Amino acid sequence: MPLRAFVDGKEVIAPTLSDEEWEALRQRVQAEKLAVMVPCCDRPGYLRRSRLGTRHFAHKRAADGDAPRCDMEGETMEHLKAKADIITAARRAGYRAAPELAGDGWRADVMAERPDGSGRIAFEVQWSFLRLEDCIFRQERYANDSVRGCWFFRNPPPQWLRNSELGPEIRARRDLPLFHLWVNVDRSFSVSLNRRLYSLSDFVHALLKSRIRFCASARAQPRQKLRFAFVEIPCEHCGRGTHIYHVDTRLTSRCGMAFQPEASWYSDDFAFQPQVLAAAGQAASSNDWIRLGAIRPRASERENATYTAFGCAHCDAMLDRTYVEMALYGASRLAEAYETDAYTVSVTLDTAPAARLAHWCYPQAGRFCCSSITPH
């Protein structure tokens, strides 16, 4: 079921016509007996609509009812509609876009080209099963012709998924843009990216307008909601109870993705930033039961080093880092603390923690996670 045909020798791309233009052309073809040829197999065709409302062309049967087989005859209506949505989005982004264009060893579902001819992007909608090896092979074919490829998979290859705290996610790689395509109840399409859903049309438009970019790392946005858990431990020196805190380092990136920074939570880079210290002090001062000592640079005789550390709320003795970490990472005590003594505080961080986390960055407002310009 091709989207492109030649009517009376002129190329017609069905999704680029309005409903009125399509109906007028259909009537002309019927009345004037204009020739309709589908280029996928150079056979006569005619104008038709799918049950999803997608305008397209269909192959005519031969007089004897038999005809040579065409690969596009088995295309699903969903596949057809997705291609039409991509064409419409690409043209809205200012690109020339045409379906079913062929090259040396490849045929793109949709080929989008910059108006000045400076770059071409082949969009592929993979509705049926395709092995990752075959996808990479076809991607290399595109690269050999200086064409970039972008793939939408209904069922992403399992090798391309990685496990995270929030569940399986598609790996991001600059040389193989591959995204998960979802079918909605109304038969429209959505693309998932970093735990968010976007309409297929809006996603393609954003990609071509360079609002989606590959970034090798994730960087936190300044405004964060931090979750504190306060844990009481006995001071090694005076034996009285004093509190320390654990701050959850799951942050929100500039593009809205949850990630874990590389720096240890117990460091000046994060847990002891002035804003984090102020937030912890705010939570402690508003709860009489929390006894939080001074947090400042202290000299450790055991480690022969000076670093920012917790102090006892009663005798101001330094709480040894190893002792503190053992207390905080004790599974049962930490789990109990999170259930009963957790506080969420909004802060603005002076420095933005980062992590090496390759992803396709799509900030709704603000800056990308990476500073270099690396559009699709």
* pLDDT tens digit sequence for 92-109: 999 999 998 888 889 999
Confidence of residue 335 (pLDDT cuts 50, 70, 90): very low
Show Cβ contacts of residue 238 under 8 Å, excluding neighbours closer than 6 positions: 312, 314, 315, 317
Tokens found for residue 40 = 């996928």
Q: Which residues contact 342 (CB under 8 A, 6 or more apart)?
A: 227, 228, 229
Is the distance from CB of 124 to CB of 134 less than 8 angstroms? no
Question: CA 190 to CA 51: how far, in whole Å?
Answer: 20
* Sign of the alpha-carbon dihedral angle for 57, 61, 62, 68: positive
pLDDT at 376: 46
- Residue by residue, DSSP assigns 37-94 as EETTTTEEEEEEE-TT--EEEEEPPPTTS-----GGGG--HHHHHHHHHHHHHHHHTT
For 150, the 3-state DSSP assignment is strand
Counting Cβ atoms within 10 Å, is residue 11 exposed (0-12), middle (13-18) or buried (19+)? exposed
pLDDT in tens, 208-260: 999 999 999 999 998 888 888 888 899 989 999 999 988 877 889 999 998 88
Whole-angstrom CA distances from 218 to 189, 228, 254, 265 are 27, 22, 8, 17
Hey, what amino acid is at 61? R
Residue 295 has pLDDT above 80, yes or no: yes
162 and 190 Cβ atoms separated by less than 8 Å: no
- Per the CB < 8 A criterion, the answer to whether 345 and 230 are in contact is no
More confident residue, 167 or 208: 208
Residue 375 has pLDDT above 60, yes or no: no
List the helix and strand counts (H, then E) for the chain.
7, 25
The answer, yes or no, to whether residue 346 has pLDDT greater than 60, is: yes
CB atoms within 10 A of CB 88: 17
Residue range 326-348: mean pLDDT, rounded = 64
CB atoms within 10 A of CB 208: 26
Residue 306 · residue 300 · CB < 8 Å: yes
Q: What is the mean pLDDT of residues 136-155?
A: 95
Q: 111 falls in which pLDDT band (50, 70, 90)?
A: very high
**What's the DSSP call for residue 318?**
B
55-59 β-sheet, strand order: 10-13, 4-7, 36-38, 43-49, 55-59
Quick: pLDDT tens for 267-283: 555 778 888 888 888 88
Determine which of 60-69, 116-125, 128-137 has the lowest per-residue pLDDT on average: 60-69
Q: 312-349: b or e for each residue (b if 16 or more CB lie within 10 Å)? A: bbeeebbbbbebbeebbeeeebeeebeeebebebebeb
How do strand 213-215 and strand 359-361 relate by DSSP bridges? antiparallel
Domains of the chain (ranges, CATH numbers): 4-71 (no CATH), 78-215 (3.40.1350), 223-354 (no CATH)
**DSSP 8-state secondary structure symbol assigned to residue 311:** B
pLDDT (0 to 100) of residue 258: 87
pLDDT band of residue 165 (cuts 50, 70, 90) is low
Average pLDDT value for residue range 153-174: 80
Please answer whether residues 176 and 139 qualify as being in contact, where contact means their C-beta atoms are separated by less than 8 angstroms.
yes
List, for residues 44-79, the tens digit of each pLDDT value. Answer: 888 888 888 888 888 887 655 555 566 666 678 899
Contact between 97 and 3 under an 8 Å Cβ cutoff? The reply is no
C-alpha torsion angle, residues 83, 87, 92, 96 (rounded to 10) = 160
Structural tokens at position 162 = 């990685």
Neighbours of 70 (CB within 10 A): 16
* Contacts for 40 with CB less than 8 Å, ≥ 6 apart: 2, 70, 71, 72, 100
